[in-house]
Chain A
Amino acid sequence: MPNHLLEIRDLHKSYGEVEVLKGVDCTMAQGDVISIIGSSGSGKTTMLRCINMLEEFQGGSISIDGEEIGYETVGGQRRRKKEKEIARQRALTGMAFQQFNLFPHMSAARNVMLGLMKVKKLSKDEARSIAEKWLDRVGLRSRADHFPGQLSGGQQQRVAIARAIAMNPRLMLFDEVTSALDPELVNEVLQVIKSLAQDGMSMLLVTHEMRFAYEVSNRVIFMNQGRIGEEGNPREMFHKPKSERLSEFLKTSSFGER
């Protein structure tokens, strides 16, 4: 059995009566950078959120490095793992959010240090030096002691990425990280993600930036109505879409405009 970094099998998720994911299968190898595209409501963000258990899911399985996430089957009964175990598994992935979600009462450095100290149990000094390294990496070393309210949106998002990645996750999840940014701030964030990708970080990105998806990813997944509509390498996907739905979607998206 090949060892996948991420393996999603027949993932089903509903909100009450509404089925959002209708059986998603997906595998991902170490170092893959996969962009998930699709119109809103197609289930791409939900899928991402299932991977770190921010959403519960009713059917199927997700595993990282062969370890099943969130649920276990005991005596034929599927049940949710213990909170503590789920918390540990969440740290296997890092996540950056559309709304940054920095902790407003902590400086940039403190934001990055919190997980290092409380989850990884590092000393304050160790945590600080790792935080500074990553803030430096996202170009914000000089802003380490600024609070989120003192930073621009793009800077906040870069701190949020540093906070996630400092935990040394196996896989980074990016959930529309540029959607809440002013256009002139989008690029600085994309540059950071790109450089992380070039370092071999495995990533799953939900994005509306088609040009970026095209440039940065080695695979693209097109989600359509809760299923994977089409997937392949970005060249084929963007230039020779097989399905009607994808070519329609690409026409209305920003790809090709720039």
Chain B
Amino acid sequence: MDIAHFLDILWLARIPILKGLGFTISISLLAICFGTLLGIFVGLALTYGVRPLRWIVRGYTDFIRGTPVLVLVLASYYVLSTIGLDLSPFQAGVLALAVFCSSHVGEIVRGALQAIPKGQTEAAKAIGLTFPQTFAYVLGPQALRQVLPAWVNTAAEMVKASTLLSIIGVAELLLRTQEIISRSFLSLEFYFFAGFLYFIINYAIERFGRYVERKTAIPS
């Protein structure tokens, strides 16, 4: 392996790599944000929803979680266009990942809320809090702490799943890397480098999660 040669090519390819990295980060960020927001509603519906709503949402999460992300990505790009919903590859990709993310976050939120002892709700009721207040001050903050480790996991999964968007032609980091390899033939070096970049992103997410966990830890 010729380090100098690799660094040369790397320098020449710096713009496409940075662009790819930018795409990867923005896709992941959008998918995680939308997916988390939607997932919170999914979790709330699963926990507190009236029966018909709960059934519908349960069906949604079970179906999505049982489907490979790749299938979701392909479906949101190719299937939606057949019903007249023409999304760009980027939009379709973010949609697929956000939907996938929401079903996982929904389950995590449901689990966290159900793990809170019933006495907490009763105590909140007993001092006269309404349900929205109980959720905002008593249940929500406790659920948040429960959710965090699993949520960090899901966020990292989203970053990894963003590589699947290369299939529908989103020029994210993996696709850019493959293009560079097809010209330079330095497959080992560049795959390794791309892997390293993914690792950095996920490591940052994990550190961030740890930081929030520490900040919100309950003294005991």
Contacts and interface: CB of A to CB of B under 8 A. Distances in A.
A137 interface: no
A103 interface: yes
B135 to A, nearest CB: 12
A83 B130 contact: yes
User: What is the interface of chain B mostly: helix, strand, loop, or mixed?
Assistant: helix
Contacts of A114: 127, 129, 137-138
B218 A101 contact: no
A150 interface: yes
Interface string B134-164: 0001100110010000000000000000000
A62 to B, nearest CB: 15
Contacts of B130: 83-84, 87
Contacts of A115: 127-129
B123 A102 contact: yes
Contacts of A102: 123
B131 to A, nearest CB: 7
A70 interface: no
B68 interface: no
Nearest to B216: A105
Interface residues of B, number: 22
B127 A91 contact: yes
A233 B141 CA distance: 46
A60 to B, nearest CB: 21
B122 A97 contact: yes
A114 B128 CA distance: 10
Nearest to B136: A118
A95 B128 CA distance: 11
A76 to B, nearest CB: 27
Kindly name the residue among B120, B125, B126, B220 whose own CB sees the greatest number of chain A CB atoms within 10 A: B126
Interface in A117-167: 118-119, 146-147, 149-150, 160, 163-164, 167
Interface string A104-120: 11000000001100110
B220 to A, nearest CB: 3
A160 B127 CA distance: 11
A114 B127 CA distance: 9
Contact of B220 (A91, A97, A118, A150): A150
Given A99-B119, A101-B119, A101-B123, A87 B219 contact: no
Contacts of A118: 129, 133, 137
Contacts of B127: 90-91, 94, 114-115, 119, 163-164, 167
Contact of A103 (B131, B138, B145, B219): B138
Nearest to B122: A54
A114 B142 CA distance: 15
Given A114-B137, A118-B133, A105 B125 contact: no
Interface of A: 52-54, 83-84, 87-88, 90-91, 93-95, 97, 99, 101-105, 114-115, 118-119, 146-147, 149-150, 160, 163-164, 167
In the A-B complex, the 9 residue pairs with the closest CB atoms: A149-B220, A91-B128, A115-B127, A101-B123, A101-B119, A119-B128, A95-B126, A87-B130, A147-B219
Interface of B: 117, 119-120, 122-131, 133, 137-138, 141-142, 145, 218-220
Given A103-B120, A167-B128, 10 more contacts: A54-B122, A90-B125, A91-B127, A97-B119, A103-B123, A114-B129, A118-B133, A119-B133, A149-B218, A150-B219
22 contacts: A83-B131, A90-B125, A90-B126, A90-B127, A91-B127, A94-B126, A95-B126, A97-B119, A97-B122, A99-B119, A101-B117, A103-B138, A104-B218, A114-B129, A115-B127, A115-B128, A118-B129, A146-B219, A149-B220, A160-B123, A163-B123, A167-B128
